Structure 1
Amino acid sequence: MNQVAGSSSRRNIAAILFAVVVAAICLSSLSQRYLGHVMDSPDLDFYDYYFAAQVVHADRHADLYEGATEGNPQLRSAPATSGIAQMAQRSGIADTELYLYPPLFADLLTPLTRLPLIRAAQLWRAFNLLMVLGSMLLLGRLLRLPVLSSSFALLVFLAISFWPVHEGISLGQITPLLLGLWAVGLWAYAEEMPVLSAVAFALATSFKVTPLLLVPLFLLWREWRWIIAYGASLFAAVGLMFAWNGSANMLAFTRVIPAMAGILPSLQNKCLGSVAAWLYYGHLFNLVSVHAVLSAAPHGLLLFIKLLDAAFYGACLLLVWRLRQSSSLIDRATIVAIFALVTLVIAPVSWRHGYTVALLPFALLWADALRSRIQGVKVWLLALATVTVGSLVFDLAAAVSLPQPFRILFASLWPLSCALLCLVALAATDRQRQQASP
């Protein structure tokens, strides 16, 4: 009886916290959409992709990275002499930022260059909405939610209201596409289709290199089919880019990646490195003031951030190593989803919209919480992280006129709550496995 009562009590607490999370995300979504907190430049990021695709369409060997290989290329305008800037000027756009993605993404967008810029942006936005919906369909399959159920309808509603999704779609970002690829990878792995899972994650890596950090997980699990398929798919994608875009572009991109490894401690960049920089400098930065420290960060601070990221990643891998004998594919899929958060908090640049993929671990962890598999501090931390990422409430507080320590605290809640959630979730799973062992 006591166990039944305890389980019921845990479900009630989780349900109450979940209701609070839903209310916070919905209210934030309404304020962002209807009360004036909207993006000043809709589809702005898509413009950069579109102009890069135009360059490739005109000459597939043309330089995509002119001006991006020296210093930190983040938040910098493309040189007026570059092909991207010239394409922008032809469309009436006076200034556009550097293109910082692998050539493959620009290659795949070349069909959109047959359309005018505005029409292409509208089509891209529709595609992103379809990617979010498709991701929720796959997530619903993982959670065993019927498509015509109120639970699935709530899942879709929360996904569209989730702040990173809203910002990503508004900016015309690549993040909904990455969400779709992560969803395919997780679903396929849980359904015992490791080759399809590996291909999806390899394609995601071809657009954004951070999924490479998943490879040690599958090495620990000795998932050799996944590893071989991932390596072969990634090798094929890289080979295709070498053949189609030329070695000069690929070699230039290899210089762009380390150039972005410095700090970019603006309020919108949610990683552990930003928290360390805010504490070091004693104040927050916006997208304008951050330029003062992009190329002037002390070497000691950079070294500390790299050690901090490595220690956090190593701790997460150690917890996975302790779980390596787990036989449940859905548990392993949840761990992979948690590592979506891990890669975000340790990446040098993790814009708020980059947390679109955080939908996956949050949904899987909340499903466990509402089934009373999550208890204690973990469910409270899950609620804090979900509200912080999904509602933007603490970032709005960090943007007002408060003493800097309070602003830093509010801004830091995003990456810190996610980092702590990763550690606590993995450690709690470890304890569950130990308790289940005879």
Structure 2
Amino acid sequence: MSRFAWPGVVRVSPQHCQPSSTSRGSSRSHHLLRFRNRNQPSIPSRYRYCASSVLPNITRLRETRGVTLPLDGLIVADFSRVLAGPYATTMLADLGARVIKVERPGSGDDTRSWGPPWTDNTASYFESANRNKESVGLDLGNADDLVLARELAHRADVFVENFRPGALGKFGLDYESVQRANPGIVYCSISGFGSGGGAHLPGYDFLVQAVGGLMSITGDPDAAGGTPMKSGVALVDVLTGKDATIGTLAALHARHTTGRGQHVEVNLLSSLLASLVNQASGYLATGNAPGRLGNAHPSIAPYELLPAGDGPLAIACGNDGQFRKLASVLGNESLADDPRFATNAARVQHRPALAEALGALLAAEPAERWVEQLLAAGVPAGSVGSIADGFALAERLGLEPLIDVGEGRPAQVRHPISYSDTPVTTYVAPPRLAEHDQRIRDWLQQEES
């Protein structure tokens, strides 16, 4: 098999789900991107989940006695909600920190009501970013609860919040107040547009994708009838959550040297702008704001979806050598010698003509057949798959993408980083609202030893 060849991958569909069935063995077929196999179910979208029946090697919940995680012993006071903050604190929880999630009594995190889909516990949206945490219900407007909230902040190593900048001051939970009582605190604030001139602006992912420029480069061009388009997930929230994690870990590391904590601030707009990378660099170099190119790349061609005989095909030629191989597989080696297509710069300049020429040749075969031939020749290519296909591919590559957190609970996506000495192997289901209320209240009311 070529070093580029995909392992056998099946396209799965909901009607083939069998959530009550037992675990199946992995089929190690080496056919390339095979998409019809009734023996490979997708993740059920209904209420009940039997994670072990979805993919053969889902990791089961297990204890890690004797295994020290990187953040063991750290306490995180999580006053955040929705996605960016909870995503960051989930990363910290995966790494061993004790994360105590503070929620509004009776309603909890907003995402508990963001459904469908629903689970037996809450909305699946909430489940996506709240595993490995404890939940306590504290009403900051209640004097007794506020005392406990402050006590939690004073005992914590990390405090994470995404309230409107300045809003926690009236509760004595702003950075200055917490830092006076707890000089070692790493206090992470997440906002939409920072704590300065944009402090009053609402910080929602969708809004930041719009005003921050991401929508202006996402979607088909105007000439093709396109309109600005958001990404398929709350990408800015996720990027900001990762930045919050990085900032928090950096501040914790600095604390080893200085003995002091610090205030870490991240905001959605800055995280988005930093993630625009080559698009931002192109604008800064030329003064010309890039537009929408659909699935095409502004600086590489062909690096886009092209029409095969039965549907779209992703081809990613990163250099001239790969393009020459593409031309050879398509049976028209002269394409690589055509002055319009001989170099990447020329291909980008003549993108419409290139797409037309390639489309005419690709129409002769279905996408799967082209994928097999192109990968064998060393040309990066693949068919467009679903999320279910993505999980199936990761499973077949031995990445074990899913973990099981208990009977009747949805599977979770594995922590994305592998550690040779401190592997993440403990996964606990997201908490029910105020599930740990009494235990945490008792702990906070006890004097520290």
State the TM-score, normalizing by the size of structure 2: 0.24
Higher helix residue share? 1
Structure with greater Cα Rg: 2
Higher strand residue share? 2
